Amino acid sequence: MSQVIRTSLEEILGGEKVHVQLSVPELVEQAIKNGEGKLTSTGAFSVYTGKFTGRSPKDKYIVDEPSVHEQISWGEINQPLSVDKFKKLYQDVIDHLKGKELYVFDGFAGADPDYRLPIRVVSELAWHNLFGHQLFIRPTEDKRKTHVPEWHVIYASGFNARPAVHGTRSETFIVVSFEEKVILIGGTQYAGEMKKSVFSVMNALLPQKGILSMHCSANVGKEGDVALFFGLSGTGKTTLSADPNRALIGDDEHGWSDTGVFNIEGGCYAKCIRLSPEKEPQIYQSIRFGAVLENVTINPETRIPDFDDDRITENTRAAYPIDHIPGAVIPGVYASHPRTILFLTADAFGVLPPISKLTPEQAMYHYLSGYTSKLAGTERGVTEPEATFSSCFGAPFLPLYVSTYAKMLGEKIRKHHTRVYLVNTGWSGGPYGVGKRINLAYTRAMVTAALNGELEKAAFTPHPIFGLLVPDHCPGVPSEILDPARTWADKGAYEAKAKELSKRFDENFARLQKADPFIAGLSKNW
């Protein structure tokens, strides 16, 4: 960090109105006093994030600095911002924060002491600091006294950028400077920007230490068998990993080192639209005092949350510390390598098998593809399901070339003989609007069979179009739904739709080959 940046930070953090390392009750009291939100009937703190109810990926930038220029995979995801524009934006943010009431949280990203990153979160809003307190790793009392932050997250939610001056697309900005070790966020109140920007930093730093950083949830069984769940939003990653028969390591971000798996965070950030105590009891019970509810409709008199109400957004969220989940692994480090990996996809075309086994080569291909479906109505102008590909199931958070992560995954699954399955949590019997979403109980049964090894007793047949290895039976699941073609009334229509999706896979992979030098020499059968 340059002396100019360090001095300006010290100036704003030395003010009389700066609250450092407040406890959860103190932060809640401050947030209520400031009129930032309200307590619900369960004790959770409820907030509305204004016009932004989700991330703004088109407003995310990396400062184009000499030390990282050759390493970053520049493009629509990793947009460059000049050093001069960053310096101007930084100084204007600092000027905006001078004399304001600020909240400071010191903690870590990365549960493994050997690889953790000391961070400091500075925010205008008390509830943003509460979010950081619950989502990042909280230091012990002795670590607090000696904490020296390497990275600063400066969340100026009340400051709007001026594109002509600051080089941004709009008033919103999420800017990462690897040389200054600073993350600037402003023009939005959506707290998820904070956790994902820190994750992006870890995705650049950890691979340099030989650690595979992953956008996945992780849990462990009673026999010490670790499982990883990869998947984009809406595929069931958090739901399926929150299993009362297994201990949760973490729900979203992990590192895979030479000794095992560790959580990058200290909390969970669960989607809670249509949340119910019957289907997701662990998550439901975690929404109590200390948790933050984002954009969930609350009864003004009873303060009871209505999790079925999507009038504000489908992307309602609950943020809570991982110790709200009974039996969670704390600290989130498990010295064992994954026995099983599950790639989750919500296929709205209704053509992928509900579960299939992948060879190591197929695992690499589907990891690079990162397929799921964007459903009609989720975005303006989307009138029918759209195939969405997000490399490594987390492309918006990957600063480096995607092959960096894919090569590491391939090496690890071969070295540790990890089984890999593709699980379709989407539609069966027809596409969205015709077929039905695969029964959650069946999906849970298939996941259980994959984790306990029962699925390995089945006979596997290659799918005629996708080449996926489809089992002939699975405990607790009707055999007829395992072969997706058998669930369609019109077999010709099934084949046509499956070939359409296969073509989209091919087109996406061809795009990856053009963008990444390593992938250029590979094929879907590598």
Active site residue 225: no
Is 26 exposed, middle or buried (CB count within 10 Å of its CB: 0-12, 13-18, 19+)?
A: middle
How many angstroms separate the CA atoms of 226 and 242, rounded? 13
Active site residue 391: no
Q: What is the rounded radius of gyration, in angstroms, for the C-alpha atoms of the chain?
A: 23
* Residue count of the chain: 526
430-464: b or e for each residue (b if 16 or more CB lie within 10 Å)?
bbbeebeebeeebbbbbbbbbbeebbeebeeeebe
CB atoms within 10 A of CB 515: 15
How many angstroms separate the CA atoms of 360 and 432, rounded? 30
| 127 CA to centre of own chain | 20
Catalytic residue, candidates 8, 40, 55, 246: 55
Catalytic residue, candidates 271, 317, 337, 366: 317
CB atoms within 10 A of CB 491: 10
Active site residue 196: yes
Active site residue 38: no
Active site residue 88: no
How many angstroms separate the CA atoms of 378 and 273, rounded? 13
Catalytic residue, candidates 49, 56, 200, 238: 238
Catalytic residue, candidates 196, 254, 271, 337: 196
Active site residue 82: no
- According to DSSP, the residues that pair with 229 across neighbouring strands are 217, 342
Q: Are residues 420 and 360 in contact, defined by beta-carbon separation less than 8 angstroms?
A: yes
User: Which amino acid belongs to residue 329?
Assistant: V
User: Contacts by 26-30 with C-beta closer than 8 Å and gap 24+?
Assistant: 27/103, 27/126, 27/127, 27/129, 27/130, 27/133, 28/126, 28/130, 28/289, 28/290, 30/103, 30/126
Active site residue 100: no
Catalytic residue, candidates 116, 128, 138, 237: 237
Active site residue 55: yes
Catalytic positions are 55, 196, 215, 233, 237-238, 252, 317
